[in-house]
Amino acid sequence: MGNYLNPGNSGFEEIRKSPYVDKSGLISLINQTIGTKQKLTCISRPRRFGKSFAAQMLCAYYDRTCDSSSLFSDLMIAKDTQYTKHLNHYDVIYLDMTGIIGETSITDIVPYIKRNIVGELTYAYPKLEVAEGFVSTLIRAAKSAGNRFIMVIDEWDAPIRETKDNPKAQRDYLEFLRALFKNSGATSQIFAAAYMTGILPIKKDGSQSAISDFCEFSVLDPGEYAVFTGFTEDEVQTLCHKYHMNFNDAKSWYDGYSFDKIHSVYNPYSVMSAMLSGKFKSFWKKTSAAEALLAYIDMDEDGLQNDIARLISGEDIEVDTEGFENDLETFKNKDDVLTLLIHLGYLAYTEEYDGFGTVRIPNKEVRIEFNKILRKGKHKELLRLIRMSDQLLEATILCNAELVANTIAKVHDSNYAPQFYNDEQALRSVVRYAYITCVDQYSKIEELPSGHGYADIVYLPKKKSTLPAMVIELKWNKTAEGALAQIKDRNYPAVLNHYSGELLLVAVNYDAKSKLHSCVIEKY
């Protein structure tokens, strides 16, 4: 067993000895590609979504120098009709690009890989004649082995991310991958299949993928790999039962990602961390991705921060993902930044049609990180909005109606809310921004059927919160007193008849002639 040639199964053996959710069905999909025109697969997904686990699983399954039958016999893959045909049948070339970057300099990445692979090949096959070119050497090695290789590249895009200020190093690395995978004749002689995984899809060369022969599956469109992108709802329910944890809490904290056929996908690292620690909390602080978020938001491309404010307030916003060049330095507009945030896992994406859809903050864990980071941000207006929202919530709880009206007016005058009222919908948009802090501790429901009508906005405190519930009614060119009367006359609080905590009735009016907000608050 070597570092790069046939790394063995020790990595997956450690994974199996730890709490493990069976994702071995992924192997069946890769087996189906072996020896076909679809044999090159690139999977991209955010950090902490099991990329390295999958890479080590594939190494353990295919590596011919070890016996991995005991690691897979009780897993889903063992039921596949092709299970034994490919089990421990191939020489595996394994590249952990993050580890390689730690071993050598940025400019030496490609020569380092070539030196080490050739060195291990000549050790495994002493009669191998090393050719002048690396690809030619691999062709000879495949002939010596009597079988083609399986190649697994983990964190394939690490050199792209780490060499963002060194275009030549990026080009050299991409040319190395092109030489391996874009020469169809040589590629077919060397590889039975290849699997690459990383955070970003393959970098674009113009409008096309730089290595176009790969079948790509990203969080924008994971296709048949969607079920392996994270934990499914059934898997999380099973874990919660095993560890005696509340499933609804797990869903609130870590769900929120969805794809065409899989409507609930959970962050696997965070779910397992919660199960093992016995606590639901944010585990994003254990990654470096959180620090990167602030830099992207501070760019404020095309009013990006306005969209961030809308996202935090609970809105879905539109995004065009087509223009993103799959790197960390080419941002032509705010859509490119939002697309990057999708790939980093900060935003969940729903496709409407090719390249166009909507994004949202997926869950409580990520929302907390947005709020933490934004409070540290450089953009004074956005920070001011959040602080005004803190003040507004406190004033509402204290039933300080005058301060509530004044604070809503200040939010209306900020850069993050509609500047002109023309109906109650515009007023509602401003109020939504004004109560942006509430998303941490409340579930917000708009146009909630209740009593004899629809309550404009209801804020229901989340589990274990000691804050009061709030029913908010909005009026335009009428009176706050009239809005309060409507809440009572139409019995809007009826929808909360199972709620046993304190309830506030909040009535807000905007008078277009005087340009003044008014408010009345009453404890119910």
Could you state, in order of their start, the residue ranges of all structural domains in the chain? 10-217, 228-281, 286-375, 380-523
Q: Which of 168-172, 443-447, 450-454 has the highest mean pLDDT?
A: 168-172
Residue pointed to by tokens 């192997």: 27
At residue 198, φ and ψ (nearest 5 deg) are: -170, -175
User: Above 80 in pLDDT, residue 484?
Assistant: yes
Residue pointed to by tokens 């509340």: 246
Q: Which of 286, 186, 271 is nearest to 230 (CA)?
A: 271
The Cα–Cα gap between 254 and 366 comes to 8
Report the topology of domain 10-217. Rossmann fold (3.40.50)
pTM value is: 0.83
Q: Which H, E and C letters describe 280-310, residue by residue?
A: CCCCHHHCCHHHHHHHHHHHCHHHHHHHHHH
Name the residue with higher pLDDT: 226 or 288: 226
Please answer whether residues 30 and 41 qualify as being in contact, where contact means their C-beta atoms are separated by less than 8 angstroms.
yes
3-state helix, strand, coil in the chain (%, to 5): 50, 20, 35
- pLDDT score for 375: 66
Left if phi > 0, otherwise alpha if psi is -120 to 50, otherwise beta: which for 327? beta
- pLDDT score for 326: 83
3-state class of 129 per DSSP?
coil
Here the tokens at position 99 are: 């580890």
Rounded average pLDDT over 409-418: 72
**Considering the chain, what percentage of its residues have pLDDT values greater than 90?**
56
**CATH code of the region 286-375:** 1.10.10
Rounded average pLDDT over 475-487: 92
Q: Report the chain's C-alpha Rg in angstroms.
A: 27
Q: Give me the DSSP letters along 462-493.
A: PTT--SPEEEEEEEESS-HHHHHHHHHHTTGG
The Cα–Cα gap between 182 and 176 comes to 10
User: Above 80 in pLDDT, residue 329?
Assistant: no
- pLDDT score for 492: 87
Scored b (16 or more CB within 10 A) or e, 381-396 reads: ebeebbebbebbbebb
Please enumerate in sequence order all residues whose Cβ is within 8 A of that of 130, keeping only pairs 6 or more positions apart, or say none: 118, 122, 137, 140
**Considering the chain, what percentage of its residues have pLDDT values greater than 70?**
92
The pairs formed by 83-86 with CB atoms below 8 angstroms and a separation of 24 or more are 85/31, 86/31, 86/34, 86/61, 86/62
- The terminus-to-terminus CA distance of the chain in angstroms comes to 72
Average pLDDT value for the chain:
88
Q: How confident is the model at residue 445 (pLDDT cuts 50, 70, 90)?
A: confident
Q: Which CATH class is domain 380-523?
A: alpha beta
Name the residue with higher pLDDT: 27 or 449: 27
Left if phi > 0, otherwise alpha if psi is -120 to 50, otherwise beta: which for 477? left
User: Above 50 in pLDDT, residue 207?
Assistant: no
Here the tokens at position 287 are: 């990654």
Residue 257's alpha-carbon distances to 151, 218, 265, 280, 304, in angstroms, are: 29, 13, 5, 18, 22
Q: How confident is the model at residue 422 (pLDDT cuts 50, 70, 90)?
A: low
Please enumerate in sequence order all residues whose Cβ is within 8 A of that of 392, keeping only pairs 6 or more positions apart, or say none: 403, 404, 407, 408, 411, 434, 435, 437
Provide the strand spans (E) within 79-136.
92-96
The Cα–Cα gap between 491 and 196 comes to 58
